[in-house]
Amino acid sequence: MRIIVYGIGAIGGAIAAQLSFSGHTVLAIARGRQLDAIRASGLSLSTPQGTRTARFPVYADPAEISFEPDDVVLLTMKTPDTLGALQRLNAAGLATQPVFCFQNGVANEALALRFFANVYGATVMLPADYDTPGEVAAYFAPKIGAFDIGRYPSGTDDAVEKLCGVLSTSGFIVEARDNVMDSKYRKLLANLRNIIDAALGDTELQRKWYARALAEAEAVLTAAGIAWDKTDAMARQELTITAIPGRTRVGSSTLQS
């Protein structure tokens, strides 16, 4: 099984590097200076345990890849880039291979289902930075990150179990979920803090306005009949954001943008 990671930013880079370190076959799709840096020198991943460099094939476009029946595609770009990525995958000949949306947010899966039959959701719990081409950093310990994974809109299958096994042996905490969107809506609620953090900075103000935003968002979901996990997945996984010597964490993906 080849794992094609589409979007080598902080999340995609950390996942691709860890899979490569564990001996799995990784193909990456990147762009710009990141593409050039990985082609020239590989991808450096820094964690609380140290820094290593991963080397794997990297492409500028899906059209450069000859897809195989047992390939798995992980979408790791930000949501505004998803439609273009799906169009390029479709044009490149991707067909029945599983497409996993490793993207926090709740719109990507439905969009992917317009192009492909086998679509899966993944809740991503992986605080990571990307600000220098060819380098990413991931700050969780003792594991590098955690994922809830399931078929969209619900259920699990062999593709879920197989990918969960691969990720579990690569330094991640993974749970197969029949109702993965419940987990993703919980993460959506948690990520309301990101924009408040970016706008305000002050910790006390963050707490005040996040509480208000959360209450309003929960009321909206309830009115819409949308379910969400009532337990914070990050707390459940017992992972801790840990300092990396010599690095200063940039912050949330919103701040990085």
CB 118 within 8 A of CB 97: yes
Tokens of 133: 């081409």
Find the DSSP H helices in the chain: 10-21, 32-41, 82-92, 108-113, 158-168, 180-190, 192-200, 203-224, 233-236, 253-256
Residue type, 114: R
- List the CATH code of the domain at 2-180+233-252: 3.40.50.720
Q: Which residue has the higher pLDDT, 256 or 165?
A: 165
pLDDT in tens, 77-123: 999 999 999 999 999 999 999 999 999 999 999 999 999 999 999 99
Q: Quote the CA–CA distance of 257 and 252 in Å, as a whole number.
A: 9
pLDDT in tens, 201-243: 767 778 888 999 999 999 999 999 999 998 765 556 678 999 9
| Average of per-residue pLDDT across 245-254 | 75
What is the reported pLDDT for 163?
A: 99
pLDDT in tens, 40-84: 999 999 999 999 999 999 999 999 999 999 999 999 999 999 999
What is the reported pLDDT for 254?
A: 58
Residue 192 has pLDDT above 60, yes or no: yes
Q: Quote the CA–CA distance of 176 and 157 in Å, as a whole number.
A: 9
Tokens of 181: 């969107």
pLDDT in tens, 116-170: 999 999 999 999 999 999 999 999 999 999 999 999 999 999 999 999 999 999 9
Q: Quote the CA–CA distance of 106 and 102 in Å, as a whole number.
A: 11
| Average of per-residue pLDDT across 250-257 | 60
Domain extent listing, the chain: 2-180+233-252
HEC string of 208-243 equals: HHHHHHHHHHHHHHHHHCCCCCCCCHHHHCCCEECC
What is the reported pLDDT for 238?
A: 76
What is the reported pLDDT for 160?
A: 99
What is the reported pLDDT for 206?
A: 82
Phi, psi of 221, deg, nearest 5: -65, -40
